[in-house]
Structure formats: structure tokens, C-alpha cells
């Protein structure tokens, strides 16, 4: 019995020695590092980098005005540029900020020499502020010659078409610039324009830059409807609002 216990003790000592040796020779833990993945899904922030625009019709000689019918004046164009921090789809709507006193204008603008035909709902007032905002004329506005940059095309500016919607969901396109209300907006802010690729002309394009022309087509009332006792200074205004889609 004593001899058996001795053998068992020797075996345990040998196991302990072997475990100790293994513990001393085991490799150190491998170096490691962590990674973290984050992100945000949000529309890019867009800015009208062209800033506020002024369309100056300069001085108009009253002798150039028609006595008993409206006088159409040359169109005036200003550049519009909108830049975004990431490719973004946008829409624009317009609200007239100047309203003439008295009755509504009540007529459409048909075949203006600048190339617009406009329903009355998309005409904006020109008023005489020194005569209780009496109407001096009206003007239409139209978005033209737009390009977009981005949308998978890199840094190359690509031709865009102007599309319209009443609900920012369904969009339509017309290639007839002199067609009724083509690329134009109602003065009450109730409809929208956006920009699309020519090959997908009912889908607003995602882009980081939109650039083109905003043209106004003005007309002045007949001289018989104006108070021309001296200089007649007039003005008009509207606010264009950018919407994210």
C-alpha cells in the first residue's frame, strides 16, 4: 500500500511539473484592435449660391408704351446656382410677395416674345408702391437651360430638363418652352419644378450642383391704365423656396 501511494504521488508531481512547463512556454496573447462603423442617412444640405437676384428693367420711355393695349418688354435672364453637400434631389416652388390692389389681372400671357405662354395663375404683379400698390404690369418666370453635376456622372455638368409636379410625387415634362406654363410655377406656391436627366425625364435627379437660367417675361399695362404724371417707379417680388425630396 505504501509502495502504491508513492507511485501515485510521483505521477502527480510529474503532471504538475509538465503543466508548469507548458504554462511557462505558452505564447503571449496576439495583439488586437477594434473597428467602429458609423453613418448617417440624411439629405444633403443645399444652398442657393447665386443669392438674391435682381431683375432690373431700367428706365422705360413712356413713348414706347402702347396707348390702349399692353406692351411686352424683352425677357431678362439671371443665373441660378444651387450647391449641395451631397447628391440630393430637390424641388422649387414660388410664392409671390408683391400683390396689386384692386381686382385680379384676369388674363393669360400668350406668346410673349421671350418665348413664354402663361396662365394667369402663374403671373406675378408689378406694382406702384407710392399709389397703394396699384398694378403697373405683370411678369412670368421660367426656368431654362439647366445642368446638373453629380448623380454618378462625376464632376461633369450634364444637361438637365425641368419637370413639374403638383404633389412632389408624380412628375411631368414638356419640351415645348413656349407651351402653356412649361417650366413655370404658380404664384401661390402650390406646384413645383425639379430637374431630371434627359434619359429619365420624370424622375428628379440626385446631384450636388444645379445650375441654369431664370428668365422673367414682363409686360406693362396700356398707358390709359397708368398714372403717368411723373416718374412711375414700380417693383415686384417673389420668394423661391427649396424643398428636399
Q: Is the pLDDT of residue 228 over 70?
A: yes
Cα–Cα distances in angstroms (integers) from residue 229 to residues 68, 101, 129, 132, 137, in the given order: 17, 20, 15, 16, 17
Q: Is the pLDDT of residue 119 over 90?
A: yes
Give the pLDDT confidence score for residue 9 in this predicted structure: 47
Give the pLDDT confidence score for residue 74 in this predicted structure: 95
Band (pLDDT 50/70/90 cuts) for residue 22 is: very low
CATH homologous superfamily of domain 46-244?
A: Fimbrial-type adhesion domain (2.60.40.1090)
> Rounded to an integer, what is the distance from CA 156 to the centroid of its chain?
19
Average pLDDT, the chain: 88
Band (pLDDT 50/70/90 cuts) for residue 36 is: confident
Dihedral (Cα; 156, 161, 162, 164), 10-degree rounding: -130
Delimit the domains of the chain by residue range.
Answer: 46-244
C-alpha cell at 157: 455638368
Q: Is the pLDDT of residue 132 over 70?
A: yes
pLDDT in tens, 161-194: 999 999 999 999 999 988 999 999 999 999 999 9
User: What is this structure's pTM?
Assistant: 0.82
Q: Which of 113, 90, 71 is nearest to 240 (CA)?
A: 90
Task: Please tell me the total number of residues recorded for the chain in this structure.
Answer: 245
pLDDT in tens, 81-116: 999 998 999 999 999 999 999 999 999 999 999 999
Amino acid at each position: 500500500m505504501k509502495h502504491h501511494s508513492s507511485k501515485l504521488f510521483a505521477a502527480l508531481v510529474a503532471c504538475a511539473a509538465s503543466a508548469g512547463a507548458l504554462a511557462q512556454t505558452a505564447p503571449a496573447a496576439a495583439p488586437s484592435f477594434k473597428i467602429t462603423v458609423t453613418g448617417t442617412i440624411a439629405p444633403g444640405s443645399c444652398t442657393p449660391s447665386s443669392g438674391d437676384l435682381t431683375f432690373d428693367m431700367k428706365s422705360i420711355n413712356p413713348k414706347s408704351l402702347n396707348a390702349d393695349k399692353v406692351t411686352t418688354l424683352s425677357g431678362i435672364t439671371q443665373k441660378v446656382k444651387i450647391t449641395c453637400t451631397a447628391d440630393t434631389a430637390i424641388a422649387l416652388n414660388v410664392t409671390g410677395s408683391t400683390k396689386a390692389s384692386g381686382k385680379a389681372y384676369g388674363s393669360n400671357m400668350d406668346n410673349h416674345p421671350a418665348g413664354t405662354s402663361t396662365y394667369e395663375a402663374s403671373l406675378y404683379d408689378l406694382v406702384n408702391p407710392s399709389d397703394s400698390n396699384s398694378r403697373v404690369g405683370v411678369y412670368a418666370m421660367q426656368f431654362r437651360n439647366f445642368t446638373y453635376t453629380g448623380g454618378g456622372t462625376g464632376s461633369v455638368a450634364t444637361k438637365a430638363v425641368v419637370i413639374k409636379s403638383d404633389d412632389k410625387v408624380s412628375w411631368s415634362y414638356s419640351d415645348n418652352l413656349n407651351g402653356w406654363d412649361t417650366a413655370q410655377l404658380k404664384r401661390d406656391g402650390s406646384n413645383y419644378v425639379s430637374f431630371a436627366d434627359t434619359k429619365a425625364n420624370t424622375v428628379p435627379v440626385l446631384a450636388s450642383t444645379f445650375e441654369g437660367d431664370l428668365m422673367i417675361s414682363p409686360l406693362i399695362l396700356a398707358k390709359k391704365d397708368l398714372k403717368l404724371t411723373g416718374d412711375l417707379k414700380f417693383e415686384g417680388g417673389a420668394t423661391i423656396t427649396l424643398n428636399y425630396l
